[in-house]
C-alpha cells in the first residue's frame, strides 16, 4: 500500500555481528599461526581443520578498507599502480596489495606477511592474479584449484570429470600443506565443519526466504555487514551457527510482526554484485524515496539457492530439472523450452567416511550442482530474473565496472532480460567496488533522482 508507514526497530544481533567481525580482523595477530591468503571455500572452510592456520580473505578486507579508510585506500592503490597494476585490476586487490607493498595495514598495524596462497577458483580472472602478486612479493607456496567451464548443452560426463578434477586439486593442496608446514589435517574437525556448514546453510536459507516478505525485514545494508560471517570471514563454526540462528530468529520475528528495514517502503530494488563500498550512502539516499534494496545475487543467491515452486511457494532449488519458471524466461529469448533432465552427482546426504569423501562433499557443495561449470546456463543469463521474481522487485541498479570483469560480464544482456519482465534498470559507471578512482558521486546522485522521478516517485520531504 503506497504511503503506509511500517514499524522499525534497531537490530538486536548487531552488536554480536560487530564483535565477530572485529575478532576476525585481529585473527592474524597470533604469533603461532601460519598466515595465508585467498578465498579457499565459500561453503566449508576446510583450512580451519589445521591446528594453526589462519586464512585472510582479501575481498572482505578490501571492502572494509574502501568503506572505512578511504584516504588510506587511495594510498594503497597508488602503491599498486606504480608497481604496474592498473585500474583494470579488482579494487579489492589493489588496496589489499598496497598494504603489502607499504608494509602496514589501514589501521597502522604491521602487515602480516603471508606464508602461503590458495586463491579461490572463480570465473572472475582477478581471483587468480591475487595469488600471483603475494607469491611474487615474497616467494611462498601457491596452490590453484582450476575453475573449468564449458558452453553449450549440459554434459553429465564432462560435469563429473570436472568435479573430480576439483577434488584432485584440493586433495593435493591439503597434502602439500601437511608436508610443508608439518601440520596434520584434523579430519574429525573437518567432519564437524561439514556438519556445521549444513546448519549455517539452513539458517541462511530461511533468512533469505523471509526476505521476500513485504515489508522487507532487512535491507542489503544489513546483509553486506553479516553475510560473509562464517564464509569469507573465518570464525569458530559453532559460534557462527549460534550467530546465524540468532539472526534467523530475529528476522522471523520481524517478518511475523511486520517490522521493516525501511519504514516507508513502497519500492523494492535489487543489485547484482558488490556495491561501491566507498559510497554506501546511496542506500540511505534511496530510502528518501521509500525505496529498499532487497539484496543482490552477491548476497542472497551466493548462500541460498532458491526458486519459486509451481504452487507459488519459495524454497530450496531443485536441481533435477529446469523448472517451469526457467522455461518461461528462456522463451523470452526464443530459446527451446523443453525440460532438461539432470542426474544429480552430488547430494548433501552422501555418506562421509574418508578424507576423499570429505573433499567430494566440499567441492560438490561449492559447485551448487549442476550450474557451477555452466554459468551461461544459469548464473549469468537467468539468475537476476529469478531473483526479481522471488523478491518482487520494481527496479535494478547494475554497475558497469571498468575493472573486476567477473562483476560486469553479461551485465547489458541481464538488463535487457530484466526489462522484458517489467523491471526498471539503471546502469552507472565506475571502478569495481573497492576503487573510487573514476567514480563520480555527484553524477550518481543525479542519476538516482532522474531514475526515480521517471518512475513517478519523489522524495518524501518533497
Asked if residue 438 and residue 352 are part of one domain, the reply reads yes
Residue 236 falls inside a structural domain: yes
Three-state helix/strand/coil letters over 394-420? CEEEEEEECCCHHHCCCHHHHHHHHHH
Asked if residue 309 and residue 363 are part of one domain, the reply reads yes
Residue 13 falls inside a structural domain: no
Greatest Cα-to-Cα distance within the chain, rounded to the nearest angstrom:
66
Among residues 134, 166, 185, the one where a domain terminates is 185
Asked if residue 269 and residue 242 are part of one domain, the reply reads yes
183-196 per-residue burial string, b: 16 or more CB within 10 A, e: under 16:
eebeeeebbebbeb
Closest Cα partner for 212 from 301, 146, 144, 283?
301
Asked if residue 110 and residue 37 are part of one domain, the reply reads yes
Residue 8 falls inside a structural domain: no
Contacts of 108 (CB under 8 A, 6+ apart): none
Number of domains in the chain: 2
Q: What is the pLDDT along the chain (462 residues), one digit of tens a residue?
A: 456 899 999 999 999 999 998 888 777 677 777 888 776 665 677 888 898 888 888 888 888 899 999 999 999 999 999 998 888 788 888 898 899 999 999 989 998 888 998 877 665 666 767 777 888 888 899 888 776 677 666 677 777 788 888 888 889 999 999 999 999 999 999 988 888 888 888 898 899 999 999 999 999 999 888 888 887 787 888 899 999 999 999 999 999 999 999 999 999 999 987 888 999 999 999 999 999 999 887 776 665 677 777 888 887 766 554 444 444 444 555 555 454 443 445 566 677 888 888 888 887 766 544 445 545 445 556 778 888 999 999 999 999 888 766 677 778 888 999 999 999 999 999 888 888 888 999 999 999 999 999 999 999 976
Residue 50 falls inside a structural domain: yes
| Residue at grid coordinates 541462511 | 204
426: helix, strand or coil = strand
Residue 202 falls inside a structural domain: yes
Asked if residue 266 and residue 149 are part of one domain, the reply reads no
Q: What is the pTM of this model?
A: 0.86
Among residues 185, 220, 245, the one where a domain terminates is 185
Domain range enclosing 109:
29-185
Specify the DSSP element, H or E, that contains 313.
none
Cα dihedral 432, 438, 442, 447, rounded to 10, equals -60
Distance CA 116, CA 170 (A): 15
Among residues 185, 213, 244, the one where a domain terminates is 185
Asked if residue 300 and residue 252 are part of one domain, the reply reads yes
Specify the DSSP element, H or E, that contains 103.
none
Asked if residue 194 and residue 133 are part of one domain, the reply reads no
Amino acid at each position: 500500500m503506497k504511503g503506509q508507514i511500517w514499524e522499525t526497530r534497531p537490530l538486536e544481533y548487531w552488536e554480536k555481528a560487530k564483535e565477530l567481525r572485529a575478532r576476525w580482523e585481529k585473527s592474524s595477530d597470533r604469533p603461532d599461526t601460519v598466515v595465508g591468503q585467498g578465498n579457499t571455500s565459500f561453503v566449508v572452510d576446510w583450512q580451519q581443520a589445521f591446528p594453526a592456520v589462519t586464512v585472510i580473505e582479501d575481498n572482505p578486507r578490501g571492502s572494509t578498507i574502501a568503506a572505512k579508510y578511504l584516504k588510506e585506500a587511495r594510498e594503497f592503490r597508488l602503491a599498486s599502480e606504480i608497481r604496474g597494476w592498473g585500474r583494470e585490476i579488482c579494487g579489492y586487490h589493489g588496496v589489499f596489495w598496497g598494504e603489502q607493498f607499504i608494509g602496514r595495514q589501514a589501521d597502522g598495524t604491521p602487515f602480516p606477511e603471508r606464508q602461503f596462497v590458495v586463491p579461490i577458483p572463480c570465473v572472475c580472472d582477478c581471483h587468480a592474479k591475487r595469488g600471483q602478486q603475494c607469491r611474487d612479493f615474497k616467494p611462498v607456496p601457491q596452490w590453484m584449484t582450476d575453475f573449468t567451464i564449458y558452453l553449450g548443452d549440459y554434459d553429465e560426463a564432462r560435469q563429473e570429470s570436472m568435479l573430480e578434477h576439483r577434488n584432485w586439486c584440493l586433495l593435493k593442496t591439503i597434502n602439500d600443506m601437511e608436508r610443508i608446514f608439518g601440520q596434520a589435517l584434523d579430519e574429525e574437525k573437518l567432519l564437524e565443519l561439514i556438519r556445521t556448514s549444513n546448519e549455517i546453510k539452513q539458517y541462511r536459507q530461511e533468512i533469505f526466504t523471509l526476505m521476500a516478505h513485504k515489508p522487507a525485514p532487512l535491507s542489503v545494508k544489513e546483509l553486506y555487514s553479516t553475510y560473509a560471517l562464517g564464509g569469507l570471514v573465518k570464525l569458530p563454526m559453532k559460534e557462527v551457527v549460534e550467530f546465524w540462528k540468532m539472526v534467523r530468529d530475529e528476522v522471523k520475528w520481524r517478518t511475523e510482526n511486520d517490522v521493516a528495514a525501511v519504514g516507508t517502503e513502497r519500492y523494492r530494488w535489487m543489485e547484482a554484485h558488490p556495491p561501491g563500498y566507498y559510497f554506501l550512502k546511496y542506500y540511505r539516499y534511496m530510502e528518501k524515496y521509500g525505496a529498499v534494496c532487497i539484496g543482490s545475487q552477491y548476497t542472497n543467491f551466493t548462500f541460498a539457492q532458491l526458486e519459486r515452486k509451481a504452487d507459488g511457494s519459495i524454497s530450496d532449488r531443485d536441481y533435477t530439472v529446469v523448472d517451469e519458471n526457467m522455461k518461461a524466461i528462456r522463451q523470452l529469448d526464443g530459446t527451446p523450452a523443453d525440460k532438461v533432465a539432470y542426474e544429480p552427482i552430488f547430494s548433501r546426504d552422501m555418506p562421509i567416511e574418508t578424507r576423499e569423501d570429505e573433499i567430494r562433499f566440499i567441492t560438490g557443495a561449492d559447485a551448487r550442482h549442476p550450474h557451477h561449470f555452466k554459468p551461461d546456463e544459469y548464473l549469468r543469463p537467468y539468475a537476476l530474473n529469478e531473483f526479481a521474481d522471488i523478491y518482487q522487485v520494481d527496479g535494478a541498479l547494475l554497475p558497469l565496472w571498468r575493472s573486476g570483469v567477473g562483476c560486469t560480464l553479461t551485465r547489458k544482456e541481464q538488463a535487457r532480460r530484466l526489462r522484458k519482465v517489467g523491471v526498471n534498470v539503471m546502469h552507472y559507471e565506475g571502478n569495481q567496488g573497492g576503487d573510487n578512482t573514476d567514480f563520480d558521486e555527484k553524477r550518481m546522485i543525479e542519476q538516482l533522482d532522474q531514475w526515480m522521478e521517471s518512475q513517478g516517485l519523489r522524495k518524501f520531504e518533497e
